[in-house]
Amino acid sequence: MLTDSEIRTWRDRLQQAWMASLVEAAQLEAEFLSVCAMANSRVASCFADPQALRNPAVLSRCYQDAAREVVDAQSARLDRVTRLPKEFRQRLWEEIC
């Protein structure tokens, strides 16, 4: 039978594994939001450029580049998020074993 101290130690180790996964998920979200903010900033600067406003091709290219960057970031985000449960299970097993 485990003592109270041993139970607290296991509980703390499992909580640390859980928190590490939460931190990783939060970092993924922060990175994605950063990409969105930078893309938004570039689109805003295109709309603030009088020469770009007179050239639909330039505006289109600016918007498409920003949209592609966000789509690529979203794709990478989803790929990494799908690996989080597996990594969490691995962290738990490492703590247990």
As a whole number of angstroms, the distance between CA 19 and CA 94 comes to 15
The answer on pLDDT for 19 being more than 80 is: yes
Tell me, yes or no, whether 15 lies in a domain: yes
- Residue 6 forms part of a structural domain: no
Q: Structurally, how many domains does the chain consist of?
A: 1
Domain around 34: 11-96
**Closest to 72 in 3D by CA, of 47, 38, 46:** 38
Domain-embedded: residue 3: no
pTM score, two decimals? 0.77
**Is 5 part of any domain?**
no
The verdict on residue 42 lying in a domain is: yes
Instruction: Report yes or no on 17 lying in a domain.
Output: yes
Query: Rg of the chain over CA atoms, in angstroms?
Result: 22
Sign of CA dihedral 69, 70, 71, 76: positive
CA–CA distances in Å: residue 33 to residues 2, 6, 58, 67, 75: 44, 41, 25, 13, 13
CA 52 to chain centre: 32
pLDDT band of residue 97 (cuts 50, 70, 90) is low
Q: Give me the pLDDT at residue 1, please.
A: 76
User: Could you read off the pLDDT of 36-94 as tens digits, one per residue?
Assistant: 999 999 999 999 999 989 999 999 999 999 999 999 999 999 898 888 888 877 877 77
Is residue 70 domain-resident? yes
Residue 2 lies in a domain: no
